Amino acid sequence: MIDQLKTEIVAQFGAESVVDVQLDGLQQALVIHPGYLIDICGWLRDNPIYYFDFLSNITAVDYHPQTKFAVVYHLASIPYQKQLTLKVFITNDRTAAALPELPSVSSVWKTADWHEREAFDLMGVYFDGHPDLRRILMPDDWEGYPLRKDYEDPESYHGIAIK
């Protein structure tokens, strides 16, 4: 299925839309160019052949010490009982002032709202166009992103020792 999907996406959006196909590992994945993410996701949802109507998860991966991050989208077609993994790689200089950024897919799947908030909260990925991008697990005034590999635990939070 993944080779056919790649062929159809390239035919629809151009050769630059699919960066790679990852066949190794537990799940095969299409690596998508960030500039095509929204269009491809909408097409995957609306295409009657595939009908990926459910976004089951979004997660982020930190490739520290590199400046590379990946955002991984797990899609499901409930009627066709198929699954698909999309990956988008982004680079970032790791400063708090410039977070890695992708467009939000919350306009495609409503479930993206909470998944993107979690990736923002814990990994510092900014989802442009998200309707309510704010922390979901950590306190609003928490500094840093706890799942990043270069994150350092603070000694205290509001005078309460953490360690």
pLDDT in tens, 43-65: 999 999 999 999 999 999 999 99
pLDDT in tens, 53-97: 999 999 999 999 999 999 999 999 999 999 999 999 999 888 778
Q: How far apart are CA 112 and CA 90, in angstroms?
A: 18
Which domains does the chain show, CATH number per domain? 2-161 (3.30.460.80)
Given this model, what pLDDT does residue 66 score?
93
When pLDDT is averaged across residues 88-108 and rounded to a whole number, the result is 92
3-class secondary structure, 33: coil
**120 band by pLDDT with thresholds 50, 70 and 90:** very high
Q: How far apart are CA 31 and CA 53, in angstroms?
A: 19
Residue 136: closest CA among 158, 150, 119, 153: 119
pTM: 0.94
Residue 26 pLDDT > 90, yes or no?
A: no
| Average model confidence (pLDDT) across the chain | 95
> Any idea what the Cα angle at residue 121 is, between residues 24 and 68, rounded to 5°?
40
Given this model, what pLDDT does residue 21 score?
96
More confident residue, 45 or 157: 45
Question: Rg of the Cα trace of the chain?
Answer: 17
Given this model, what pLDDT does residue 94 score?
83
Given this model, what pLDDT does residue 97 score?
80
